[in-house]
Every structure is written in C-alpha cells, then in structure tokens.
C-alpha cells in the first residue's frame, strides 16, 4: 500500500534492474543504490543512508535505542562554522561571540534514543516535500528519513509487516553498501548463534 493517494504520486517511468540499481540522485550529485532485498548480509562506523518507508499511513514514526554522538573539535579548516555564545564585559556590555570553524567527530552509541519521523504532512496538513523521494526514483513520493546508525539500518532492513513484506528500503551510497551489508550479516549470524545457545541451555 502507498502512504499517498495514487493521484498524488509523481509518475514512475524508470525501468530499473533488480539488484543494486541506482535509485536516486541527491542534491550533492552522489548516486545511491538500493540494498538488495535478497542480500541478507547481516565497532560501528558512520554511514549516511536514506530509509524509505513502504508501509501505509502518512504519520509513521519509530524510535530505536542508541544515537549518534557528536564531538566538535576546533579546526581552522573545518567544514562546520559556529558562533560562540555572546558574553559580557566588566561593565555589562554584550560581547558578540566569535565565529569559529570545527571538525565534527561522530560515533554511534547504544545510549539514548533516536526517533525517525516519516510523516508526510506538517501540522497544517501540507505535504513536507523534503521528506519525499524525488520523482526520478523508483519510490517517488514515498517518505524517507536519513539514518547514520548502522544498528538502526540493520533493524530497518530486517523489519517486516504482518504479511512478511519489507517495511523499509535502505538506500546507501555505493561505497557504503558493502559495509552496511556486512554489518547486517555479522550481526544476524551472532544473534542466531546466541539464540541457538540459549535454546540448548534451556533444553538441558
């Protein structure tokens, strides 16, 4: 089922191969490829991937344990620019904060919680086009969210609805595809091994 009425969806006229097809071209011009459905290739490096919601409804959201922790390190050639907080001198006059550049170090942690919002409309009922896949995509009009946490990408990839259909599509850059796939494979292998171990212990 589509979260949008059929008449509201942009036309889909692209013919795509089944495996690792180029699906969307983001504004920065870097192509993304779909994590193949048949590739269950279940440390946490940071990747940036789109997660496309395929289920029904226009107000879907979900939360997972874990978050991306950011550390800002001052760097004269860093890509991020931020202004210090304003201060005051001895006479109480406002001193405007200094503009500085930073490099951001990110780490995926299992502490805290991250919420992913796939809502298609704002509080006034207007479509949030920034959350919709572009018209040249196979999933045109579908809502998506950005995800950088490998553990969350694994859960999105493995999620199924009551009929066993995938609820989400993971869209990663080509250079990240193998990393995401290998993480899913290793994690699932370890999970199944632990489940087998526990069942053997309980059977004794």
Return the pLDDT at 101. Answer: 86
Report the C-alpha gap between 58 and 14 in whole angstroms: 25
Picking from 73, 72, 91, 26, the residue whose alpha carbon sits closest to that of residue 52 is 26
**Residue 104: which pLDDT band, with cuts at 50, 70 and 90?**
confident
In a domain, 113, yes or no: yes
Please check whether residue 20 is in contact with residue 159, taking contact to mean a CB–CB distance below 8 angstroms: no
In a domain, 99, yes or no: no
In a domain, 187, yes or no: yes
- What's the average model confidence in pLDDT over 170-184? 83
In a domain, 100, yes or no: no
Return the pLDDT at 12. Answer: 42
**Residue 31: which pLDDT band, with cuts at 50, 70 and 90?**
low
**Residue 62: which pLDDT band, with cuts at 50, 70 and 90?**
very high
Number of independent structural domains in the chain: 1
List the structure tokens of 196.
């087998």
In a domain, 49, yes or no: yes
The region of weakest confidence among 82-86, 150-154, 165-169 is 82-86
Q: Which helix (H) or strand (E) holds 148?
A: strand 144-149
Residues forming a β-bridge with 51: 145, 170
What are the two backbone dihedrals, phi and then psi, of residue 156, each rounded to the nearest 5 degrees? -65, -45
At 111-132, the pLDDT tens digits run: 899 999 999 999 899 999 999 9
The region of weakest confidence among 12-16, 45-49, 174-178 is 12-16
Report the C-alpha gap between 203 and 188 in whole angstroms: 22
What are the two backbone dihedrals, phi and then psi, of residue 110, each rounded to the nearest 5 degrees? -100, 5
Return the pLDDT at 16. Answer: 37
In a domain, 159, yes or no: yes
Q: pTM above the 0.85 mark?
A: no
Return the pLDDT at 37. Answer: 46
Q: Which domain holds residue 128?
A: 30-69+107-203
In a domain, 180, yes or no: yes
**Residue 199: which pLDDT band, with cuts at 50, 70 and 90?**
low
In a domain, 101, yes or no: no
Question: Which pairs from 92-98 meet CB under 8 Å and 24+ separation?
Answer: none
Report the C-alpha gap between 33 and 173 in whole angstroms: 6
């Amino acid at each position: 089922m589509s979260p949008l009425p059929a008449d509201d969806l942009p036309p889909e006229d692209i013919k795509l191969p089944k495996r690792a097809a180029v699906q969307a071209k983001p504004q920065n011009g870097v192509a993304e490829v779909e994590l193949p459905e048949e590739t269950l290739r279940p440390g946490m490096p940071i990747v940036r991937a789109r997660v496309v919601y395929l289920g029904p409804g226009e107000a879907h959201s979900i939360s997972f344990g874990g978050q991306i922790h950011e550390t800002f390190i001052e760097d004269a050639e860093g890509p991020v620019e931020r202004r210090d907080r304003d201060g005051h001198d001895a006479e109480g006059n406002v001193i405007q904060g200094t503009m500085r550049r930073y490099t951001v170090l990110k780490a995926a942690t299992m502490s805290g919680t991250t919420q992913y919002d796939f809502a298609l409309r704002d509080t006034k009922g207007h479509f949030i086009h920034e959350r919709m896949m572009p018209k040249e995509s196979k999933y045109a009009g579908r809502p998506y969210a950005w995800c950088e946490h490998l553990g969350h990408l694994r859960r999105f990839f493995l999620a199924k609805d009551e009929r066993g259909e995938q609820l989400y599509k993971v869209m990663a850059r080509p250079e990240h595809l193998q990393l995401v796939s290998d993480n899913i494979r290793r994690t699932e292998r370890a999970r199944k091994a632990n489940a087998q171990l526990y069942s053997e212990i309980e059977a004794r």
